[in-house]
């Protein structure tokens, strides 16, 4: 991470903030940006930097949804001591988020060498962008968009939460894209799947950022770029969340799908021409 300057940290913070919750793959965009700036994407300190600045974006989600989070956590706490409160949807939903986070934690720890090694290649990012786009396209058309957030079940949460593994293993697939596509295939509406994507992503992404923090601190690099990148990602992500929720209420995911395909094809071209280091 010593190779990352404050200026580069600002750029990466902006990229992280814009793309973390959009279904376009923040990890993929960060790796592309790092590659274009000549930053070695496979270096452990760089991987740690990428994970830690995600905490800024997650903090933005926590602030944006603070009322919902307080309501859900309060219901969960009440349910732990009052049996009657356990029939409340918010109490159940809190447990569902916990259960749905377990698969990605297990896979993340078990596959860490692969995730930080061979799967960190920009070739994987390019292919995942395009394959993920196909999944989103099929899901957006197959889904009947008839179920709201209050209609979700444990099965929905587990399937949507587990789909995050695709983005974990294949950078470029997009955590948001995978969770939203899965939710759409379960007939949830676009606003519901977008909000669920936020709630289910908060524990996993926060945990990943905190886990990687030790590598970032242990690298011996100056903390200023890390702090700047995290703060910038927070501010940009907050604006991105507000925009996305308004957008999906009235539009399909077509714009994101087309964008992903274009970026994937361009990246293949850059890699094939040896203009970007994979």
3-state secondary structure 10-69: HHHHHHHHHHCCCCCCHHHHHHHHHHHCCCCCCCHHHHHHHHHHHHHHHHHHHHHCHHHH
pLDDT of residue 4: 83
Backbone angles phi, psi at 153, to 5 degrees: -130, 175
DSSP letter, residue 170? S
88 with 152: CB under 8 angstroms? Answer: no
pLDDT of residue 1: 44
With helix as H, strand as E and coil as C, how does 211-227 read? HHHHHHHHCCCCHHHHH
pLDDT of residue 66: 95
68 with 249: CB under 8 angstroms? Answer: no
pLDDT of residue 208: 76
Which residues of the chain fall below pLDDT 50? Answer: 1-2
151 with 195: CB under 8 angstroms? Answer: no
38: left (phi over 0), alpha (psi -120 to 50) or beta: left
Residue-wise burial string across 132-164, b where 16 or more C-beta atoms lie within 10 A, e elsewhere: bbebbbebbeebeeebebeebeeebbbbbbbbb
The angle that helices 190-218 and 44-64 make with each other, rounded to 10 degrees, is 140
Among 254, 150, 131, CA closest to 196:
150
The residues pairing with 147 across neighbouring beta strands, listed in sequence order, are: 188
With helix as H, strand as E and coil as C, how does 221-275 read? CCHHHHHHHHHHHHHHHHHHHHHHHHHHCCCCCHHHHHHHHHHHHHHHHHHHCCC
pLDDT of residue 206: 82
- Count of C-beta atoms within a 10 Å radius of residue 223: 10
User: pTM of the entire structure?
Assistant: 0.86
Query: How far is residue 58's CA from residue 62's CA, in Å, rounded to a whole number?
Result: 6
pLDDT of residue 164: 92
- Count of C-beta atoms within a 10 Å radius of residue 123: 14
24 with 197: CB under 8 angstroms? Answer: no
pLDDT of residue 276: 76
């Amino acid at each position: 991470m010593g190779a990352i300057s404050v200026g580069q940290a600002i750029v990466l913070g902006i990229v992280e903030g814009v793309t973390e919750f959009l279904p376009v793959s923040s990890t993929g965009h960060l790796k592309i940006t790092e590659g274009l700036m000549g930053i070695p994407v496979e270096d452990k300190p760089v991987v740690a930097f990428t994970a830690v600045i995600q905490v800024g974006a997650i903090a933005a989600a926590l602030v944006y949804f603070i009322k919902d989070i307080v309501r859900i956590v309060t219901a969960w706490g009440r349910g732990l001591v009052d049996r009657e409160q356990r029939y409340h949807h918010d109490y159940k939903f809190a447990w569902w988020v916990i259960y749905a986070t377990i698969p990605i934690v297990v896979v993340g720890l078990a596959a860490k060498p692969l995730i930080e090694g061979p799967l960190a290649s920009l070739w994987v990012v390019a292919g995942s962008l395009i394959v993920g786009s196909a999944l989103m396209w099929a899901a957006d058309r197959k889904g009947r968009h008839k179920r709201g957030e209050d209609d979700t079940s444990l099965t929905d949460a587990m399937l949507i939460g587990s789909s995050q593994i695709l983005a974990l293993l294949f950078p470029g697939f997009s955590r948001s894209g995978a969770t939203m596509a899965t939710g759409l295939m379960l007939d949830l509406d676009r606003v519901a799947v977008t909000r669920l994507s936020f709630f289910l992503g908060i524990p996993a992404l926060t945990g990943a950022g905190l886990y990687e923090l030790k590598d970032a601190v242990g690298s011996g690099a100056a903390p200023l770029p890390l702090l700047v990148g995290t703060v910038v990602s927070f501010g940009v992500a907050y604006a991105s969340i507000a925009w996305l929720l308004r957008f999906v209420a009235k539009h399909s995911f077509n714009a994101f799908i087309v964008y992903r395909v274009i970026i994937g094809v361009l990246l293949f071209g850059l890699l094939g021409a040896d203009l970007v280091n994979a």
